[in-house]
Structures are given as structure tokens and as C-alpha cells.
Amino acid sequence: MALDEKELVACCGSSKFGKEMAMASPFSSLQHALNTARDIWFNTVDVNGWLEAFDAHPQIGKSSSNHKSETSAQWSKGEQSTALATATSSSLQELLDWNARYKEKFGFVFLICASGRSTSEILVELKKRYPNRPIIEFEIAAQEQMKITELRLAKLFAAKAEAASAYDQHPVTLGKKAEDRVSIIGAHLTATSEALAGKTSESSARTRPPITTHVLDVSKGCPATGLDVRLEMWMGKQSRPSFDGNNVGGWALQGFSSTDKDGRSGQLMSIVDAVNPGIYRISFNTGKYCPDGFFPYISLVFEIRDTQKLEHFHVPLLLSPFSFTTYRGS
């Protein structure tokens, strides 16, 4: 897939990044683009390019005119939607105050992949990172920028795939702008919607289950609807499952659901303040969803440690018949 420099700058904010990525285009797959993006961002873009990318972001909870395109402005708005939906006037003001303190200390805005994070979660992370030495925080910010860039590249790929599909079906009447499609698909990739936030348990401070997922069918450029998802926890006699051993009978079902029209699974576990530490496995019935695909099913195993039990774990899946990409979202 061919990507132009303007689209790529919207994904990152760095002119150097956009130029280098455009020179490397076209990309054979989303994974190819992501691998190239990581290499360029960490090994080619210099400090000035990093700062340029940081400066393209508004402070979380505050609008900005720094955006280099309408597309990046729409993406930022979608990525901050959960934070704004869960904010109170006092928490929003506290966030703005801490943002100002952070920028005064480090010289750039507090950067975090905010997609799906509530205001309180962002505040916790900001306060945790504030004592860092500048050199350490600069590296962390660059890592967070890469997460945002990867998310936006996935949105861009999905939007272009959808536009190409629509053009194949209606080559004469296709009139919707590509950037509109990007914002629509981008909304599907937001880790938590306002509707999900509305399902808050009265006895919990959380607004969603500790573990969530969201599946996008990159080949079609739309959410993957009707995909069965199962969440399990390791409860075997051994402390952890073995790569070489027999793990039959050690996994305990936590929840089962199918993805809805937005590609989001239903509630796979209860909304609790602290998730039980341990090893979890989330599985996707890809063989049923795409019978002609390469993967009969996909299982992802991950560990939640005791120090992470208050965090949220979002496991998005970017799926096509012959490849998939995942990462720990927020």
C-alpha cells in the first residue's frame, strides 16, 4: 500500500519521519509499515524530529491549533474521547495543572497513548512519571509517541482499504473524502467508547473491565463483527504454563463473548478495582470468522503482575486472513 508524506506526517507529526516513510513506501502489509516506522523513528529521526512530533500534540484535555492536518486533529479528538467523557470539572482542572507543571519541567507536553484511558488513569501515570530525570522521560515520551503512530498507521491502512473496496463497488459515485473515512475507522480503534464507560459498576471505581479487546478487520477496513472471543486464567498445578509441557486442564474460563458491530467484545470479566494477578489467555475464533484464512484460531498469553493489578489491559487485534498484529493498548 502506498502512503504519501502528508498522511504519514499526520500519523506522527515529524516531517523527517513523514519524508523517510514516504521514501520507503509502498508497504506490502501493515506489519511491514509498522516495522519500518519503528526503525525510522528510533534510528533515523533525530532529537529535533522527536520534539517536532511531541509539539504536534495538544495537552490532554485541552484543544490546540498545533495539528498539521485535519486528520491528525480528528485522531487526537478520538484518542482523548474517553478521558474527556470520564472527566469531572475538578479532575480536568487537576489534569491541566499537572500538564502545565510537566511542561515547565521537561519542556514538552506530557505524551501518552491516551486511547481508552480515563482522566484518572492519565493523572496517575502523569504523577508517576513526573519525578523522572529528563533524559529518562524523553525516552518514555518517544516510546509513547511510537504507540500513537502505530495506532494511527493502523487507522490509515484500514481507511485506505475501505476506500479501495468502496471504489471497486461504486467507482463513479464514490464521493466521500478519504480523511472522513480515516476518522470513522479511527473511532472504531478507540479502546473504550462512552457507551462502555456508562456501564460503570456502582461498587467499583473502574468504568470498564480490567481486560478488554477490540478487533479490526484490516483486509476489509472495518470492525470484525461476530468474532468469538474467550478469556481464560491459568489455574494449573504449576505456577505458570509451560511452553513445552502439557497445559491441558490448567486454564479456567473467565468469560466468553462475540464482537459487536464496532468490533468490541462484550464483558469478558467483572468490573473490579483490582484484577487478580496471574497469567491470562485471550483467544479469537478466527477459523470460524474467516474459514479461508491461515489461522484456525489465535491465542495470546500475557501476565499481569501484582504491581499492575490496578491497571487496565486492552488487547486490540488488527486482523487479516493471513496476518495479525497486536500490542498492549491502554
Q: pLDDT tens, 273-294?
A: 888 999 999 999 999 998 988 9
Shared domain for 288 and 147, answered yes or no, is no
| Structural domain that includes position 301 | 211-238+249-326
192 inside domain: no
Shared domain for 144 and 224, answered yes or no, is no
Of the ranges 28-42, 76-90, 226-240, 313-327, which one carries the lowest mean pLDDT score? Answer: 76-90
DSSP, collapsed to helix, strand or coil, labels residue 222 as strand
172 inside domain: no
pLDDT of 299 higher than 90: yes
Which pLDDT score, from 0 to 100, does residue 181 have?
44
Shared domain for 121 and 219, answered yes or no, is no
In angstroms, the Cα distances linking 300 to 37, 231, 284, 297 are 24, 10, 9, 10
Block residue for cell numbers 507536553: 109
Shared domain for 54 and 144, answered yes or no, is yes
Count of domains observed in the chain: 2
Out of 57, 67, 312, 314, the active site residue is: 57
176 inside domain: no
pLDDT of 189 higher than 80: no
Shared domain for 104 and 216, answered yes or no, is no
pLDDT of 327 higher than 80: no
Which pLDDT score, from 0 to 100, does residue 66 have?
55
Which pLDDT score, from 0 to 100, does residue 166 have?
47
Question: Rounded to whole angstroms, how far apart are CA atoms 249 and 83?
Answer: 40
Domain end marker among 135, 155, 175: 155
299 inside domain: yes
Question: Rounded to whole angstroms, how far apart are CA atoms 112 and 140?
Answer: 9
**3-state helix, strand and coil shares in percent for the chain, rounded to the nearest 5:** 45, 15, 40
The greatest distance separating any two alpha carbons of the chain, rounded to the nearest whole angstrom, comes to: 62
DSSP, collapsed to helix, strand or coil, labels residue 280 as strand
Kindly calculate the radius of gyration of the chain based on its CA atoms and give it in whole angstroms. Answer: 20
Which pLDDT score, from 0 to 100, does residue 228 have?
93
Sheet with 228-234: strands ordered across: 251-258, 228-234, 278-284, 298-304
Question: Rounded to whole angstroms, how far apart are CA atoms 91 and 61?
Answer: 10
Give the β-pairing of 323-326 and 278-284.
unpaired
Q: What percent of the chain has pLDDT over 70?
A: 81
> What cell numbers appear for 184 in the block?
470513522
Shared domain for 10 and 139, answered yes or no, is yes
pLDDT of 238 higher than 60: yes
90 inside domain: yes
pLDDT of 121 higher than 50: yes
Shared domain for 150 and 223, answered yes or no, is no
Q: Roughly how many angstroms between the first and final C-alpha of the chain, as a whole number? A: 28
244 inside domain: no
On whether the CB atoms of residues 62 and 94 are closer than 8 A, the answer is no
Which pLDDT score, from 0 to 100, does residue 199 have?
39
103 inside domain: yes
- Structure confidence at residue 245 as a pLDDT band (50, 70, 90): low
Give the β-pairing of 298-304 and 251-258.
unpaired
On whether the CB atoms of residues 269 and 255 are closer than 8 A, the answer is yes
Beta strands per DSSP E along the chain: 211-217, 222-223, 228-234, 251-258, 278-284, 298-304, 313-320, 323-326
- The CATH number for 267's domain is 2.60.40.180
202 inside domain: no
Model pTM score? 0.54
pLDDT of 224 higher than 70: yes
Block residue for cell numbers 484500514: 158
Average pLDDT over residues 193-222: 64
Block residue for cell numbers 480536568: 92
Which pLDDT score, from 0 to 100, does residue 301 have?
93
Q: Reply yes or no on whether 57 is catalytic.
A: yes
Mean pLDDT taken over the chain: 80
Shared domain for 127 and 261, answered yes or no, is no
φ, ψ of residue 273 in degrees (nearest 5): -65, -45
Shared domain for 269 and 139, answered yes or no, is no
- The CATH number for 139's domain is 1.10.3330.10
Domain end marker among 155, 180, 201: 155
Angle at alpha carbon of residue 266, lines to 261 and 269, rounded to 5°: 165
Shared domain for 297 and 230, answered yes or no, is yes
Domain end marker among 155, 186, 221: 155
Shared domain for 16 and 151, answered yes or no, is yes
